[in-house]
């Protein structure tokens, strides 16, 4: 008879050694991977952060546009619902009126009018009543027509309200998505900046300010030459924006203590008594377009192919704008960004 022996099990000591060896191998592999991925340079970080800020600004302008659309849609929904409520009250009044007339007719009895005339001891009095009954019937028919018309109107208004409510829900969804996108881009940018030392981050800020003012002057003071304002209102708007130099950039902000790019321009023109759209894309279509050689102080300047950035033309090749996170409202050389066209607000 063959003997059956249990396989020899590895000793506990051997298992411990194997486990420790595997852990060491994983640690060495991790260290090797880290060694293979060197720390990004300050220049690489700057390039990636600038791209993330640009993407965040694009999403922010869409967010601001959705927020503005939400406000308008909410007003429209409220107005339509108010109309429906008032129309329903009017319809109820008409129905009450037709009910009262029907009750009055019922109380007069259902005898044929000719028989009532034959039996009447006072034919003249009866004829007066018959005439009044005809008038009541005509009024009743008119009321019924009003009821039908009011019902059709209410049905249309309710359908319109339902459509607006759906649009509002879609806009709110878009609003949330764009807000999350902005936050994600900013978080990624901050992670990259955190890979730098404090000295490297400070150097980036200095380099950015130097780049902004490379055409002369500083970010707070610049040689604007002898530029003539485009109009009295453009001059007033530009002066208002100048008074906000040094105010921090904040996504979605429209003053007075912080701004994004289109928030600054829309706020400044509001101080001049002029209402312009809130987003840079809408502002691009708010007036007559200009080439670079036609720009005058106070004109809007639109940058990037998708029109996601806007500032004021300041004169002598300078713009005044709210640039990006970590920077404040400042002057900057117009050539630092891809110029598209100018816009003169009429």
Annotation says 308 is catalytic: no
Return the closest-CA partner of residue 322 out of 276, 274, 253.
253
**DSSP letter for each residue of 272-283:** TT----SSHHHH
Identified catalytic residue from 150, 185, 309, 344: 309
- Which residue among 241, 261, 322, 334 is the active-site one? 261
Task: State the burial class of residue 288 (Cβ atoms within 10 Å of its Cβ: 0-12, 13-18, 19+).
Answer: exposed
The closest alpha carbon to 75, from 168, 172, 166, belongs to 168
**143 part of the active site:** no
Q: How far apart are CA 120 and CA 254, in angstroms?
A: 83
Three-state secondary structure call for residue 1: coil
Per the residue annotation, which of 321, 324, 330, 344 is the catalytic one? 321
CA distance 194 to 200: 10
* Distances 256 to 63, 67, 245, 279, 319 between C-alpha atoms, Å: 19, 19, 11, 17, 20
Our answer to whether residue 261 is catalytic in this structure is yes
Question: Phi/psi at 228 (nearest 5 deg)?
Answer: -95, 135
Q: What is the DSSP string of 247-290?
A: PBB-TT-BSSS-B-HHHHHHHHHHHTT----SSHHHHTTSSEEE
Q: Which tokens belong to 269? A: 């023109």
Specify the 3-state DSSP secondary structure of 111.
coil
Residue whose C-alpha is closest to residue 346's, from 262, 296, 265, 274: 274
Spatial CA neighbour of 303 closest among 106, 58, 47: 58
Closest CA to 145 of 97, 193, 195, 207: 97
- List active site positions: 261, 309, 321
């Amino acid at each position: 008879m063959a003997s059956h022996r249990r396989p020899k099990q590895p000793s506990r000591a051997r298992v411990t050694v194997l486990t420790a060896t595997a852990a060491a191998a994983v640690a060495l592999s991790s260290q090797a991977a880290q060694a293979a991925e060197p720390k990004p340079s300050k220049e690489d970080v700057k390039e990636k952060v600038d791209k993330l800020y640009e993407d965040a600004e694009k999403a922010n302008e869409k967010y601001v546009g959705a927020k503005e659309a939400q406000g308008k849609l909410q007003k429209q929904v409220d107005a339509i619902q108010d109309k429906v409520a008032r129309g329903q009250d009017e319809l109820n009044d008409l129905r009450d009126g037709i009910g009262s007339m029907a009750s009055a007719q019922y109380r007069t009895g259902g005898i044929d009018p000719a028989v009532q005339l034959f039996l009447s001891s006072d034919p003249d009095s009866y004829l007066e009543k018959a005439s009044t009954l005809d008038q009541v019937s005509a009024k009743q028919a008119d009321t019924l027509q009003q009821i039908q018309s009011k019902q059709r109107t209410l049905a249309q208004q309710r359908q319109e309200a339902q459509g607006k409510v759906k649009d509002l829900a879609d806009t709110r969804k878009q609003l949330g998505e764009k807000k999350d996108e902005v936050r994600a881009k900013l978080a990624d940018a901050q992670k990259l900046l955190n890979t730098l030392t404090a000295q490297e981050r400070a150097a980036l800020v200095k380099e950015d300010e130097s780049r902004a003012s490379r055409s002369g002057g500083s970010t707070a003071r610049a040689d604007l030459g002898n530029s003539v304002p485009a109009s009295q209102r453009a001059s007033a708007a530009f002066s208002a924006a100048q008074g906000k130099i040094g105010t921090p950039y904040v996504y979605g902000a429209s003053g007075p203590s912080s701004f994004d790019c289109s928030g600054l321009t829309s706020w400044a023109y509001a101080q001049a008594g002029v209402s312009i759209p809130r987003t840079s894309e809408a502002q691009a279509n708010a007036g007559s377009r200009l080439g670079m050689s036609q720009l005058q102080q106070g004109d809007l300047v639109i940058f990037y192919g998708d029109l996601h950035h806007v500032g004021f033309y300041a004169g002598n090749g300078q713009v005044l704008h709210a640039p990006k996170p970590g920077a404040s409202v400042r002057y900057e050389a117009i050539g630092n960004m891809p110029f598209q066209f100018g816009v003169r607000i009429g």
